[in-house]
A and B are shown apart, each in its own frame.
Chain A
């Protein structure tokens, strides 16, 4: 059963990918890319990677197609044929692919429990993380404690991307931007507004649940941040950007993005203050397990804040472009 599911998912993935490469309709390509994300999330699920699946669903099937669609709305959905580089591409792809295939021949079999990967470092996480960290979700333990520094890097990457997008699109000229009207913010979309109002609170609530439940089940700061942002994005889609800006000030969101990283970084520094190494939470509370627990909650909070803020920044900036692009079709 597992095998059939596996083969089916992979085949679907392949078909989707090939179709995306083949089609000239960018809209179809983006939608299919979303489906590709969803399919890979299902695949991750079937591999037992629940956290990854959760994240991939939010990113690959949510945020990423959303951003691509806004881009498409400005840039147009038709793609021109341009075959001149195909040969070079085929050659590169052929060589790289052949190299990869040869490499696989001497790899440990798929799923084999005595592959080197499962014998060296990972066993300690499974065997000792309960004693050392005290939470059941091993992925969270590794993510937030054993390899917490990678995760700090990850948050900084997100922060960097947000800042990059901001510097590219968000800071054009110093003139006050004109208020932007969301196309949906018309009274006729009454149904939407009602549904929106009903849906948004549970979404935010769910985000909080994901944020703090990450230690026990799948979830954590990143996923929670994305969901939280989605709540606001939905709100802006229904009520218009300026309605959101009334609730959350843009400067505040930008500051919050920085604050999230700072929280994470400072918690790490507390480790040094408590006489241990950077990002060592053991000294934060009475006993080391409690300390770890506290530390993880704190840094996950940092992650959530930064991710949510950056997602909101990126989305707002893109939608502002969209609105402006509609007003001036060919601004060049």
Chain B
């Protein structure tokens, strides 16, 4: 019972942790950004799972059904996705500039370049 009730959340947590791990452990900046993306997307999955109502359909009103998924998490996540892509775009632009300035996108090289190992 517990498994079927919560497995969704558990997988989501594993995804989040994979993303977070990448952000912290990996020195390549692009990889960090990918990790950040996965981390955020997993949070989106969590929200949408919260909004799920068993047997509910998409929250577009019609005569056919009276059970709908909860629309509020959908709205929130629409916003969050946009925030996510905005962050990604800015991060990638920063990476391009860092590459121009330091000649590398590896954290080690950058720290070494600034003389603060």
Contact = CB atoms under 8 A, between A and B. Distances in A.
Interface of A: 3, 6-7, 10-11, 13-14, 17-18, 20-21, 26, 29-30, 33, 36-37, 40, 43-44, 47-52, 55-56, 59-60, 63-64, 67-68, 70-72, 74-76, 79-80, 82-83, 85-86, 88-90, 92-93, 96-97, 100-101, 104-105, 107, 109-113, 115, 117-118, 121-122, 125-126, 129-130, 136-139, 141-143, 147, 150-151, 153-154, 157-158, 160-162, 164-165, 168-169, 216-218, 222, 314, 317-318, 321, 330-332
Interface of B: 2, 4-22, 24-28, 30-31, 33-35, 37-38, 41, 44-45, 48-62, 67-79, 81-90, 92-97, 99-103, 105-108
B75 A143 contact: yes
Contacts of A67: 88-89, 92
Contacts of B90: 161, 164-165, 168
A84 to B, nearest CB: 8
A118 B55 CA distance: 13
B53 A130 contact: no
Contacts of A129: 61
Contacts of A168: 90, 93-94, 96-97
Contact of B93 (A56, A86, A164, A332): A164
Contacts of A80: 27-28, 106, 108
A321 B1 CA distance: 54
A64 B88 contact: yes
Contact of A92 (B20, B50, B55, B70): B20
A43 B48 contact: yes
A71 B95 contact: yes
B31 A52 contact: no
Contact of B72 (A70, A72, A122, A217): A122
A296 to B, nearest CB: 13
Nearest to B56: A48
Given A37-B41, A157-B83, 11 more contacts: A11-B11, A20-B18, A43-B45, A49-B69, A56-B81, A59-B84, A70-B92, A79-B26, A110-B8, A161-B85, A161-B90
B5 to A, nearest CB: 3
A57 B78 CA distance: 12
A101 B61 contact: no
A64 B37 contact: yes
B82 A18 contact: no
B24 A92 contact: yes
A10 B6 CA distance: 13
28 contacts: A10-B11, A10-B12, A17-B19, A21-B21, A26-B30, A26-B31, A29-B31, A36-B41, A40-B44, A48-B69, A51-B78, A52-B44, A55-B82, A82-B27, A82-B28, A82-B108, A85-B25, A111-B52, A113-B55, A117-B72, A137-B61, A139-B75, A157-B83, A160-B86, A164-B89, A164-B93, A169-B97, A332-B100
Given A6-B8, A59-B84, A75-B99, A139 B18 contact: no
A33 B33 CA distance: 11
A47 B48 contact: yes
B27 A126 contact: no
Contacts of B107: 82
Of listed B35, B76, B79, B94, residue having the most chain A CB within 10 A: B79
A137 B59 contact: yes
Contact of A89 (B24, B31, B54): B24
Contacts of A317: 93
Contacts of A85: 24-25, 27
B6 A56 contact: no
Nearest to B76: A150
A103 to B, nearest CB: 9
A107 B96 contact: no
